[in-house]
């Protein structure tokens, strides 16, 4: 019970951070990476708990909890994919910098010889 609760609280914090524009105020935190790690850990935790619920207990409530856990795992996996694309875009923007900052030697030289 503790692991899904912590994942829920972390998701709630990140939702609050994005809603209140904390991600624009605190530039030192890599927000897409934090969201990506949250998705990955949530998918793993919910998948493991679902397997435990289905295999360990045989009553109907545990089976239903396992099915809902597997559905949550699929939702987190889709969120993982979407967040991964956002993370790649974020990292490409951070590594490219300004287009004028990356000049080659040929652009800097004034010689006309070939």
Domain boundaries, the chain: 32-94
Q: Identify the weakest region by mean pLDDT among 11-15, 27-31, 75-79, 108-112.
A: 108-112
The 10s digit of each residue's pLDDT in 32-75 is 788 888 888 888 988 998 898 888 878 888 888 888 889 989 99
Alpha carbons within 13 A on the beta-carbon side of 20: 8
- Mean pLDDT, rounded, for 19-36: 81
73 and 57 in contact (C-beta within 8 Å)? no
**Per-residue confidence (pLDDT) for residue 101, from 0 to 100:** 46
* Tokens matching residue 60: 């109907």
pLDDT at 112: 56
């Amino acid at each position: 019970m503790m692991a899904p609760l912590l994942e829920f609280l972390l998701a709630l914090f990140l939702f609050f951070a994005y809603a209140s524009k904390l991600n624009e105020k605190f530039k030192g935190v890599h927000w897409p990476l934090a969201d990506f790690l949250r998705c990955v850990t949530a998918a793993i935790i919910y998948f493991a708990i679902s397997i435990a619920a289905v295999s360990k207990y045989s009553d109907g409530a545990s089976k239903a909890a396992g099915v809902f856990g597997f559905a949550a795992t699929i939702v987190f996996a889709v969120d993982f994919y979407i967040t991964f694309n956002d993370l790649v875009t974020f990292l490409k923007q951070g590594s490219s910098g300004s287009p004028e900052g990356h000049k080659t030697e040929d652009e800097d030289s004034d010689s006309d010889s070939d």
